[in-house]
Chain A
Amino acid sequence: MRKFLLFLVSLLVAFSVLNVFYLIILSKIDWDFSKTKKVHSFKEEKFKVVVLGNSTALDGIDAELLSTRFGATYNFAIGGASLETNFIQLVKYLKCNLRPSKVLIGLSSCHNNYNNIMEVNPIVDYYYDSLLLPVTIKDVPLFKFRWLFIENIKKLLSRDHRNAVIVDGQLRINKSVTDNSSYSLSAVQCLQEDDYLKPGYKYLHQIAEVCFQNGIQLIVFEMPCWKKSQNECEDVYVSENIGKGFKIFNFNHKVLADSMYEVKSDWLSENHLNTSGSKKLTSLIIKKLFADSVHDHVKPALLPIYESNK
């Protein structure tokens, strides 16, 4: 029995060592890991614009370009981030830093069902949670950050991934995948205000509440996807509490996307823009959103109430 128990203990120790080793490697080489570590340690920063979202915003919003127009900007988006993750990031940022004037959130409802159960991104959970030691089997690093293994293996196999860089929080990958898909407008459903009031978007409203309390302008928009997932939907006004409403701009509109993106050179995957595509989207954000009056973000019928609340 002694030999067997020794074997089991050795196996457990070796497995634990590998987990620690994996964590160290990730913190050195993984983009999301190093970025989250950096973001988590921000103190007294004075960003004017904060970008939130998941991998579509991470790749698709050019913070450097936004900086040229609106001052220091940082893209906080990370792969697989839920809205709850974005909320945690924003609250933590506001606690230790100066408040920005604008918060941008890129949603990706064209490929992501927000009503599915979405947990806090494990990397954010790891850095933002004070408990650093594993508390359940699921907290074992090799399990908790399992998808990062493949993500980092890609760096070994693909030069594009190896050469990718993070600039002001944006991940820039110079790789193009052609959009060979075709429109399927009848199969795509338009999201209405009621849809954005469902529990899956709960943290979007909490982010809106935080922005409202801190006097931060909130800009919410749907990120574009390939043709097969594009739509012809209108922008949506979400005004759960009168006066604290916000507008969700639809940048996944067929006409808009059609006029902007090259099918061969602007996409990284079916729902991610590459560096070239991100510049086009960011230019649109600058042109369309910030050139317009703030009144654009409030439903016309609610304007008087908005003004009085202000």
Chain B
Amino acid sequence: MLFNSIEFLIFLPNVFILYWFVFNKNLRIQNILLLIASYVFYAFWDYRFLFLLIFSTFLDYFTGIKMSEAQRVTNKRFWFWLSIIVNLGFLGIFKYYNFFATSFAEALAHAGLKVDVWTLSIILPVGISFYTFHGLSYVFDIYNNKIEPERNFVDYAVFVSFFPLLVAGPIERATHLLPQIKVKRQFIDDEAIQGVELILWGFFKKVVIADTLSGLVSGVFTAPSEYNSTALIIAAIAFSFQIYGDFSGYSDIAIGTAKLFGIDLLKNFNFPYLARNIAEFWKRWHISLSSWFRDYLYLPLGGSRVGKILSVRNVMLVFLVSGIWHGANWTFIIWGSIHGLLFIPSFIRGTNKKFREDIVSKQQPFPTLADLIQVAFTFIVVTIAWVFFRSASVHDAVMYLSDIINMKDGRSLNLQNNQLLVYLISFIAFFIISTLNLYRKNNLIKPGKIVTFSTCLILLVLITLFGEFSEQSFIYFQF
């Protein structure tokens, strides 16, 4: 089920009413309701893959208990590796098998050997990367004695498949979400109102910003060689906003929806395009994934405690894995590598932790010129990397960028005045509300009830007037 669908518009109020008005006295039944609702939500996409989700949930639940009960280290390791191999095995088969098989065949072909590889005709189960990572973090934490295994299957299953975050995150941690599932939730009016505001803001970013830009972006990226350099630049910038609107929009709807059920989810975005360097960008973009890789890949590899060369290797590995996590295509690997290569200089100089605060603060209510230049530079670099992320192949991406550099002639975008006006009004609203949120986050302003109410109303009106309601899927569903 998509958030931006009529089904969800009916689904959410019904679950909300049952949760708070019918089953509010009993935590167990509330959790069962959340689990059923989550499975219904997932089954709307494809009920057949529900069994994969349930199997994966059961596997981690079972191996978690077995690990904690194991008397010997070898037994514990056995259950640990069983979970890791099966989880990653599913991910490998569904997401990466064809990519590695064809890449292997291509490599052999370059060496003069011709082999016919067997590829699978399968579709990718939506959200598999997200729920697999939920399960993996749980197994890692038990293995490292950070948490005790969850004995209640329903509670654990809700942790893995809680519908707001099931298909595109944020990637939760057992240490953060499970304790909330175990205790009775309180309905807090202000939190719920904030949830509604977040949902509307998320919808605005998705259906007004991302989906209205999607036609422009896909038109150019489908046949980039036909367009002139100006069109290519505009489409690349448009994609930067499209993917931000799409993914952060999803995260905001997820976090806002969870708030309606008294559950607090991890933050996933923190004004990423206001980052002053790549290191700061990764503290602000898809935070739940980057922190996952930090905790379960970078630190276990030794982090920065293993000497400069090995720590640079660790950093690069994290970025490569992060790239391939997004999909089985060389474009994602190159995208991850670009970010890695841009990150390493500041990592070596030790400036990767330089920027911890936002560009505005109580001491400095307006950004400095230096900040703005750094923000602009980082945005350009990130946008260049997005070209690889969005292009169909590495060759296409290279041609795309070289056509920009060579100021190539070709078709222009030929945008209609009406479309331009929609973009103009939408982006003015986007920047005003984003600024409001930035200042609110930094306690520079404290919007009262009227401002919150007006913001919600304006967002509702803008969504109604300019939203694309063709039920376009979220980009991150494919990951």
Contacts and interface: CB of A to CB of B under 8 A. Distances in A.
Interface of A: 1-4, 7-8, 10-11, 14-15, 18, 137, 140, 142-143, 146-147, 149-151, 153-154, 157
A3 B189 contact: yes
A14 B454 CA distance: 10
Nearest to B414: A270
Interface in B160-218: 187, 189-190, 192-193, 196
Contacts of B466: 146
B31 to A, nearest CB: 20
A11 B418 contact: no
B464 A4 contact: no
Given A142-B465, A149-B465, A10 B453 contact: yes
Nearest to A6: B189
Given A4-B187, A11-B196, A146-B464, 16 more contacts: A2-B189, A3-B193, A7-B453, A8-B196, A11-B453, A137-B9, A140-B464, A142-B465, A143-B464, A146-B465, A150-B421, A151-B418, A153-B421, A153-B425, A154-B417, A154-B421
B471 to A, nearest CB: 13
Given A1-B187, A4-B187, A150-B422, A142 B196 contact: no
A142 B418 contact: no
Interface in B305-321: none
B461 interface: yes
A153 to B, nearest CB: 6
Contact of A15 (B6, B417, B421, B461): B461
Q: Tell me what chain A mostly uses at the interface: helix, strand, loop, or mixed.
A: helix
A87 to B, nearest CB: 27
Contacts of A14: 453, 457
A70 to B, nearest CB: 35
Contacts of B476: none
Contact of B196 (A7, A149, A150, A157): A7
Nearest to A19: B464
B189 A15 contact: no
Interface of B: 6, 9, 20, 187, 189-190, 192-193, 196, 417-418, 421-422, 425, 453, 456-457, 460-461, 464-466
A132 to B, nearest CB: 19
Contacts, number: 51
Contact of B20 (A1, A2, A137): A1
B26 to A, nearest CB: 17
A142 B464 contact: yes
Contacts of B460: 11, 15
B5 to A, nearest CB: 12
A117 to B, nearest CB: 13
Contact of A4 (B9, B189, B421, B453): B189
29 contacts: A1-B187, A3-B189, A3-B190, A4-B193, A7-B189, A7-B193, A7-B196, A8-B196, A11-B196, A11-B456, A11-B457, A11-B460, A14-B453, A14-B457, A15-B457, A15-B461, A18-B457, A18-B461, A137-B6, A142-B464, A143-B464, A146-B464, A146-B465, A149-B465, A150-B418, A150-B421, A151-B418, A154-B417, A154-B421
Q: Among the interface residues B456, B461, B464, which one has the most CB atoms of the partner chain A within 10 A?
A: B464
B259 to A, nearest CB: 11
Contacts of A149: 465
A150 B189 CA distance: 36
Contacts of A151: 418
A10 B465 CA distance: 20
Contacts of A157: 421
Nearest to B200: A11
Contacts of B417: 154
A154 B424 CA distance: 13
A137 to B, nearest CB: 8
Most chain A CB within 10 A, of B6, B190, B193, is at B193
A149 B456 CA distance: 19
Nearest to A2: B189
A35 to B, nearest CB: 20
A2 B425 CA distance: 35
Contacts of B421: 150, 153-154, 157
B192 A4 contact: yes
Contacts of A11: 196, 453, 456-457, 460
Contacts of A146: 464-466
A7 B460 CA distance: 14
A18 B193 CA distance: 21
Contacts of B192: 4
Contacts of B422: 150
A30 to B, nearest CB: 14
A15 B417 CA distance: 28
A300 B190 CA distance: 78
A154 B421 CA distance: 9
Contacts of B465: 142-143, 146, 149
B461 A1 contact: no
A250 to B, nearest CB: 26
A195 B136 CA distance: 59
Nearest to B456: A11
Nearest to A10: B453
A149 B467 CA distance: 13
B184 to A, nearest CB: 15
A1 B189 contact: yes
A135 to B, nearest CB: 15
Interface centre among A2, A3, A150, A157 (most CB of B within 10 A): A150
